[in-house]
Structure 1
Amino acid sequence: MTARSDSRTLAWVLLAAAGAFALTMGTRQTMGLFLSPLNTSTGLGLASISLAFAFGQLWWGLTQPFAGAVADRIGTGRVLAIGVVLVVVGTCITPLMQSTAGLVFAIGVLAAGGAGMAGPSVLMAATARLVPPQRRGLASGIVNAGGSFGQFAMAPIAVGLTASVGWAGAMQWLGALMLLALPAAWVLRGNSNALAAQAAAASGMRALSAREAIAQALATPGYRYLAAGFLVCGFHVAFLATHLPGVIAACGLPPEVGGWALAVIGLFNIAGSLLMGWAVGRWRMKSLLALLYTTRGVAVLVFLLAPKTPAVVLVFSAVMGVTFLSTVPPTAGLVAKMFGMANMAMLFGLVMLAHQIGGFLGAYLGGTVFQATGSYDWVWYVDIALAAGAALASLPIRESHALAPARA
């Protein structure tokens, strides 16, 4: 009976975390489909609208360490519920905005900030807290696959809604769907710092404060290498999510191919996330990260040299999908292995901040370079070079516990 109850509890935790991530990631990753209609409706220009999307990438990252620190202390449930409501409001009012400042507020502050509060740093830490240690790698892969499934499911839904109710109505319906994530706040309630404090007291030590944990983490070379690689991941992911439909349109292909390309990325990332969750417990996580970054660089190079047909685009999207968010399980696993569960949401949130600084650059430079040159080629060249650098930066990471406990 106990084993059956534990399995049922584990299933609910994974369903709640993966479901919440599916809704937030699915809504965010389909916003690139609305870039062209927003430009046509507002007349602001591609660079101005890209700025709103880019600020959203940055703000999504900035909110995560703070959201993680709050969740570590007052509980995941409250933070998650507030985040869901902010995503709903921001997404629903975006079609009403007619200025760059308005789009930055709706897309970049409300929707992106809410998605950060309901994002991977909070969800991964809650999952790691609620599942047995031996299942954390696979659990993180399942939660990550939830985000991928959200992208796979939301992209064709967004295309269908746009065809039936227009782009503005489609955005508002996507915002309303986010309300389905609210029950996850109850399932994932609780915080990790209380458990860490009990364990520290039992061993005659005291739990590190947030400031002490951050200082020790930033002094650890492996943590800095990990953040540098994740910055490159953010550049790549944000550029694809925001500008892949534009890349496909620039190749003279129908808009539907852009929607299906995003869906294929989401579909194959489900397999990639589950595979990576399984692999985390069997191979060194830094080697897996190096492999992922190398695969991305090679795939982009082949795509640039290949003829741009729908089949080539979909194959490229499939390869990108396998690596798209597969970096999250080994990155979260390395943070947990180096620093333990106390303050994990905050420390992983800091790594996510680096990810989103890269995301800001990827989203903004994509629009700026295209507007200046009429092509995305130079962004692809930068992406290849960054992927090679991220692969090399992953190799010196030491997979060992790095935080020194403080005496009581």
Structure 2
Amino acid sequence: MHDATRKLSIAQVLICGATIVTLSMGIRHGFGMWLAPITQDMGWTRQTFALAMAIQNLSWGIFGIFGGMMADRFGAFRVLILGALLYALGLAGMALSPTPLLFSLTTGVLIGAAQAGTTYAVIYGVLGRQISAERRSWAMGVAAAAGSFGQFLMMPLEGQLIAQLGWQTALLVLAAMVLLIVPLAFGLREPGFHGSAPIQRTQSAGHAFAEALRYKSFLLLTAGYFVCGFQVVFIGVHMPSYLKDHGLSPQVASTALALIGLFNVFGTYAAGTLGQRMAKRHILAFIYFARAVVITIFLLVPLSPMSVYVFSAVMGTLWLSTVPPTNAAVAQIFGVQHLSMLSGFVFFSHQIGSFFGVWLGGYLYDTSGSYDIVWYLAIALGVAAGLINLPVREGAIARPTPQAA
């Protein structure tokens, strides 16, 4: 069968998609471990490093919209190949950039664009098109859990690479490793994107985008995702330095990040599975409220390796567990025809939050000598996001007449 209706096997989509997310997200989650060695070796401030990370997250969000449009129009395969090449180039630039400007262009713009083409929006578009609605939320949970497992797997590896080879050589090793995405992308070549039978569309990308912007529930999901980005990127990038400032060893930080990744495997899988049975808005509200409570307790109890490990385990369960229900809700409301683009737009909000989380962390630390204000902001925003998600309506949007593509 060579027509556009033929589907890839569930196993093939999940194995290739999950492995790509494992590589892309696993490498990305470890960037906080480079903050101290790079700033000390290059004589830069933490704000310099944080600004590059903030640009990376913003670049990821901006390119994610267009990467999603390309994946919906031309298929994920081509976007994944381009993303892998950009990722390798960006990691090499991160290792070799002699100035803050070049560091921001490579670490920020290039790697951000690469992540847009190798992570959730593109992979979830394939999952949405190739897996039935009855199993879609579960499949998204599996892919998100893979990204979490990548964090658990890559944290000790990246720590050892830095310790044994130095931070520059370690980044060059990762640049070679990320090219493994190229052969994996061949497993996600979707029927209808590469043959003579075009994908039939009843709605143009412009119509889909305008429709989503007019729909209140889409805007609420988008606003909630801003908070997710703020919290997780602030913690992921700045917690190693926060712990070091309080006298804890780098091994505690790398173990903490690995625990976040390990427990997020369970959290994201559970969120995806529960999304098939429960209202996704209730799952999201619980996650955001719980994050606010967990951060508050972490700041109140005496800081020790054990308190860090407990915090990391609990926060890890909530870490990327917002991803499956958010994207599954978008698919449920609007369908899968333009899912990568709409997921990319929602994720753009996430990345704006990431920008402020990582940049404010560096800026407020340099100006006040403390991360306290950002921790308090993370708590307040968690409460706000929980309230924002409660009124979301998840039913399929009513379209009176088909819109010509």
Considering the TM-score relative to the shorter chain, is it more than 0.5? yes
Q: Residue 406 of structure 1 aligns to which amino acid in structure 2?
A: P
**CA offset digits 1:188-241 (Å, max 9, x no partner):** 1237899xx9897xxxxx611111111110000000000000000000111011
Aligned equivalent of 1:100:
100
Aligned equivalent of 2:152:
152
Flag as ranges the 4+ runs of structure 1 deviating above 6 A. Answer: 191-194, 197-200
For residues 311-330 of structure 1, what are the structure 2 equivalents within 5 Å?
311-330=306-325
1:211 to 2:206 alignment: yes
1:119 to 2:119 alignment: yes
Segments of structure 1 that go 5 or more residues without pairing to the other structure are 1-5, 201-205
**CA offset digits 1:32-57 (Å, max 9, x no partner):** 10011110122121111110011001
Partners of 1:339 and 1:403 within 8 A in 2: no
Aligned equivalent of 1:3:
none
Match 1:406 to one of 398, 402, 405: 402
Question: Structure 1's 403 and 40: CA in aligned 2 closer, same or farther, altered over 3 A?
Answer: farther
Aligned equivalent of 1:359:
354
Partners of 2:76 and 2:122 within 8 A in 1: yes
For residues 280-295 of structure 1, what are the structure 2 equivalents within 5 Å?
280-295=275-290
**CA offset digits 1:354-402 (Å, max 9, x no partner):** 0000000001000111111111111000000000000000011011112
CA distance in 1, matches of 2:191, 2:127: 11
CA distance in 1, matches of 2:45, 2:55: 16
Aligned residue for 1:237, secondary structure, equals helix
CA distance in 1, matches of 2:58, 2:134: 33
Per the TM alignment, residue 132 of structure 1 is displaced from its structure 2 partner at its CA by 2.4
Question: Structure 1's 209 and 407: CA in aligned 2 closer, same or farther, altered over 3 A?
Answer: closer
Per the TM alignment, residue 407 of structure 1 is displaced from its structure 2 partner at its CA by 4.8
**CA offset digits 1:286-321 (Å, max 9, x no partner):** 000000001100000000001110010011001111
Task: Give the stretch that moved more between structures: 297-306 or 367-376.
Answer: 367-376
Match 2:250 to one of 242, 247, 255: 255
Q: Residue 153 of structure 2 aligns to which amino acid in structure 1?
A: A
Q: Residue 367 of structure 1 aligns to which amino acid in structure 2?
A: G
Partners of 1:290 and 1:391 within 8 A in 2: yes
Aligned equivalent of 1:11:
11
Question: Structure 1's 278 and 67: CA in aligned 2 closer, same or farther, altered over 3 A?
Answer: same
Aligned residue for 2:387, secondary structure, equals helix
The alignment covers a number of residue pairs equal to: 397
For residues 8-407 of structure 1, what are the structure 2 equivalents within 5 Å?
9-190=9-190, 207-402=202-397, 404=399, 405-407=401-403
CA distance in 2, matches of 1:115, 1:361: 18
CA distance in 1, matches of 2:298, 2:7: 44
Aligned residue for 1:406, secondary structure, equals coil
Q: TM-score, normalised by structure 1?
A: 0.94
CA distance in 1, matches of 2:222, 2:350: 7
Per the TM alignment, residue 163 of structure 1 is displaced from its structure 2 partner at its CA by 1.4
CA distance in 1, matches of 2:267, 2:36: 30
Aligned equivalent of 2:3:
none
CA distance in 2, matches of 1:177, 1:149: 16
Q: Residue 153 of structure 1 aligns to which amino acid in structure 2?
A: L
Partners of 1:294 and 1:391 within 8 A in 2: yes
CA distance in 2, matches of 1:402, 1:193: 27
Partners of 2:145 and 2:268 within 8 A in 1: yes
Partners of 1:192 and 1:342 within 8 A in 2: no
Aligned residue for 1:182, secondary structure, equals helix
Per the TM alignment, residue 251 of structure 1 is displaced from its structure 2 partner at its CA by 1.5
Q: Residue 33 of structure 2 aligns to which amino acid in structure 1?
A: L
Q: Residue 291 of structure 1 aligns to which amino acid in structure 2?
A: F
Superposition CA RMSD, Å: 2.0
CA distance in 1, matches of 2:129, 2:85: 24
CA distance in 2, matches of 1:22, 1:212: 33
Partners of 1:65 and 1:346 within 8 A in 2: yes
Partners of 1:71 and 1:191 within 8 A in 2: no
Residue identity (%): 39
The structure where helix makes up a greater share of residues is 1
Per the TM alignment, residue 61 of structure 1 is displaced from its structure 2 partner at its CA by 0.9
Per the TM alignment, residue 133 of structure 1 is displaced from its structure 2 partner at its CA by 2.2
